[in-house]
Amino acid sequence: MISTALVFIGAGIGGALRHGVNLASLRWPGLTFPLGTMAINIVGSGAMGLVVGWFAFRAGEGVPHGMRLFLATGVLGGFTTFSAFSLDAMLLWERGETMLAASYVVGSVVLSLAALTGGMALMRGLS
């Protein structure tokens, strides 16, 4: 139950941060490019690298599992799930699973876009 609460609180913080970045990016006049989302994905992925690297180097010192849940799953998961996607792809790459990593990246992007398109088409058909 405590682990769920840690993820819940962290996700709230991450979501609020994401909302703040999106609001700030709207203040750039004439900007039609989704800069806020792109910035969130890049910053979130960089932060995931820092967090995972910190945990890896501190593993011998016993980083509490709750800290991992709060930061990686909660805060960064609430900020952007793209950071988890980036981590998964990089772990596959580092394990030498190059084709699996490429399949994961291409498959995730293409199938996610297809699912979004299908969901939008379905809702348009229902209206």
Say if residues 40 and 85 touch (Cβ distance below 8 Å).
no
pLDDT surpassing 80 at residue 92: yes
Q: Give the CA diameter of the chain.
A: 57
| % of the chain beyond a pLDDT of 70 | 98
pLDDT in tens, 40-86: 999 999 999 888 888 887 766 777 889 989 999 999 999 988 888 99
pLDDT at 81: 80
**Cβ neighbours of 27 (radius 10 Å):** 7
Distances (CA, A) of 87 to 1, 48, 81, 118: 26, 7, 10, 27
Known binding-site positions for Na(+) = 77, 80
pTM over 0.85: no
In 3D space, the residue among 36, 123, 115 whose CA is nearest the CA of residue 82 turns out to be 36
All structural domains of the chain with their residue ranges: 1-126
Known binding-site positions = 77, 80
**pLDDT class of 5 with cuts at 50, 70, 90:** very high
